[in-house]
Structure 1
Amino acid sequence: MVKHIVMWRLREEANGMGRRENALAIKGRLEGLSGKIPGLLRIEAGVADEVSEGGYDVVLLSEFTDMQALALYQIHPLHEAVRDFIVTAAAGRAVVDFETA
């Protein structure tokens, strides 16, 4: 199994919405991918209640069957549409992928 964790720091305003509204929209779009992409076992997104200095607004916790499934997720059209929305709102990003037993 592969865990894919991403955190985003958002712009104050983007997509005609404020930071919090974009965070909630991102959460909804990411969680909307559940059950729609082969090899994606679990997907959950969280929105920070408050963002401290150096903190992040949104976190994605997802699990895949293997690294190949993660690679296919990255280029899946449904994921690409969500990614395109996130890119317009994001000011920064951190990611880690790792295999578990």
Structure 2
Amino acid sequence: MLRHIVMWTLKDPTDAPQVKALLDSCKGLVPGMHEFDVGIKAEGLEANCDVVLVSTFEDAAALAAYVPHPHHQGVVAQIRQMAATRHVLDYLV
């Protein structure tokens, strides 16, 4: 299993619900995607970013199928315009 975590700081933090909706539309895009959870910064809780994606894939091949998927790439293009920073960590579980 491979965990894929992506965190974004947005140029305008009020865009977080829109980014979450975009990411949620990617849920279940490819076989081998097991978990796909999107969270946004909550008032009163510690956070160093505005949006986080925590997803789990069966293996590197499943993640490799997800990354270039046309729908995912469309979402990436939209989020890229709203993001100030992006951090990624992929690791084996």
Same fold by TM (over 0.5)?
yes
1:55-81 per-position Cα deviation (integer Å, ceiling 9, x unaligned): 110000001010111111110011101
Q: Which runs of 5+ in 2 are unaligned?
A: none
Pairwise CA distance, 1:35:
2.1
Q: Is 1:33 the equivalent of 2:26?
A: yes
Q: Please give the TM-score of this superposition, normalised by the length of structure 1.
A: 0.82
CA–CA distance in 2 between the matches of 1:8 and 1:50? 17
- 1:8 paired residue number: 8
1:24 to 13, 17, 26: 17
Moved over 6 A (4+): none
Q: Percent identical across equivalent pairs?
A: 39
Q: Is 1:93 the equivalent of 2:86?
A: yes
Residue type at the aligned position of 1:10: L
- 1:59 paired residue number: 52
Q: Is the 8 A contact 1:30 1:43 kept in 2?
A: no
Paired residues, number: 92
